[in-house]
Amino acid sequence: MYEPDGDQPGEFQYFREAEALRKTHDLPAGAFDIWTNDRGLFGLIVGVGAAKSSASMMAFGLDPRFDLSQAYFMISGICGINPGVASLGSVVWADYCVDGDLAHEIDLREAPEDWETGIFPIGGFAPFESVERGRKTLFLPEEVYQLNQRLSTWALNLTKDIDLSDLDSPEMARYRSRYEGFPEAQRPPFTLKGDNLGMTRYWHGEKINAWAEKWVAFWTEGKGRFATSTMEDNGTLRALTQLAKAGIVDWDRVMLLRTGSNYTMQAPDGQSALESFRGDGGGGETMFPGYLPSLRSLQRAGSAVIAEIVNNWDQYAKNPPAR
């Protein structure tokens, strides 16, 4: 999604180094140029936020220079991680991405007194109410992107035993220890399946986290479990959906990989949401306490999948892997 200027790594640097992405192709309608190597791997930085990511992916998909009919797409970036599901630095493969931007909203100060949130589904009239009563032909949003679950399970099985122990640190362990009552948040980095909420606003806090859990469960009819918060994936997947509809890409070859750089809510030890967000709560924390470990785990898991597909292209060119 991004790569800053200077020495601080972003989501792309470790991939660029590990995969020898040295050649570039200009992408005038995209956010950045495309990086390639001599083994058929393309690296695309799409930009921060759903609008940029959607536009960049569409620009890439419609570029006549490239045949993407057999291409695999791995959306890979760091994220906010739900402490009820996983820990800092953990690797998360998604089956679902739920759009958190498409919604109605009434300021909670003006909403009915018994509402817990002012956000409610387009076509509905109350939070988490069935949309069938209010849905009109005018409202045709697609709130849920369901990925190829056989492919995500395959990716999980391929990466579940990757050693992430060296990415842990005493500082990160101390930060995790503050999340009493959240056993998954207190674990060292691990690999799991979990689902994604794509929402352009960068949000944070216990109350919004509770809303995110319910929003993902609502739109996936209880099948999805909110694990990762991102700002681009609903946009990237919107473009890929349209490209698949046009027969340009194969939707069954799309993967969504995220790793946790920070928790989506404050520690339950008296820390405020704002203190947690700013990283200045007096506990020596930072805004992104798992930043570098999440970049490393992202590249390790991603490169494992890349190597398997590229090294066995004869096997995977015709049919997506599943095991």
Q: Which of 278, 191, 229, 206 is nearest to 97 (CA)?
A: 229
What is the residue range of 192's domain? 71-102+142-316
Q: Cα separation of 87 and 290, whole Å?
A: 9
Is 31 domain-assigned?
A: no
pLDDT confidence of residue 287: 77
Specify the CATH number for the domain of residue 88. Answer: 3.40.50.1580
Number of structural domains the chain divides into: 1
Tell whether the model's pLDDT for residue 9 goes beyond 80: yes
Is 1 domain-assigned?
A: no
The encoded tokens of residue 277 equal: 């967000």
Is 260 domain-assigned?
A: yes
What digits encode the pLDDT tens for the residues 262-318?
999 999 999 999 998 988 755 455 778 899 999 999 999 999 999 999 999 999 999
Helices (H) then strands (E): counts for the chain: 9, 13
Is 248 domain-assigned?
A: yes
pLDDT confidence of residue 114: 94
Mean pLDDT of 1-18: 90
What digits encode the pLDDT tens for the residues 147-169?
999 999 999 999 999 999 999 98
Tell whether the model's pLDDT for residue 91 goes beyond 70: yes
* Alpha-carbon dihedral 255, 261, 264, 267, rounded to 10 degrees: 150
Tell whether the model's pLDDT for residue 172 goes beyond 50: yes
Angle between helices 50-61 and 233-245 (to 10 degrees): 30
Q: Which of 223, 215, 225, 301 is nearest to 258 (CA)?
A: 301
Is 223 domain-assigned?
A: yes
What digits encode the pLDDT tens for the residues 36-80?
999 999 999 999 999 999 999 999 999 999 999 999 999 999 999
pLDDT confidence of residue 17: 95
Is 158 domain-assigned?
A: yes
Q: What's the DSSP call for residue 188?
A: P
What global pTM score does this model have? 0.93
Q: Is the dihedral of CA 252, 194, 240, 210 positive or negative?
A: positive
Confidence of residue 110 (pLDDT cuts 50, 70, 90): very high
Confidence of residue 170 (pLDDT cuts 50, 70, 90): confident
Is 5 domain-assigned?
A: no
Q: Cα separation of 260 and 297, whole Å?
A: 9
pLDDT confidence of residue 140: 54
pLDDT confidence of residue 283: 47
Tell whether the model's pLDDT for residue 105 goes beyond 60: yes
Give burial (CB, 10 Å; 0-12/13-18/19+) of 88: buried
Mean pLDDT of 93-121: 95
Is 14 domain-assigned?
A: no
Confidence of residue 20 (pLDDT cuts 50, 70, 90): very high
pLDDT confidence of residue 279: 81
Mean pLDDT of 246-267: 97
Confidence of residue 135 (pLDDT cuts 50, 70, 90): low
Tell whether the model's pLDDT for residue 182 goes beyond 90: yes
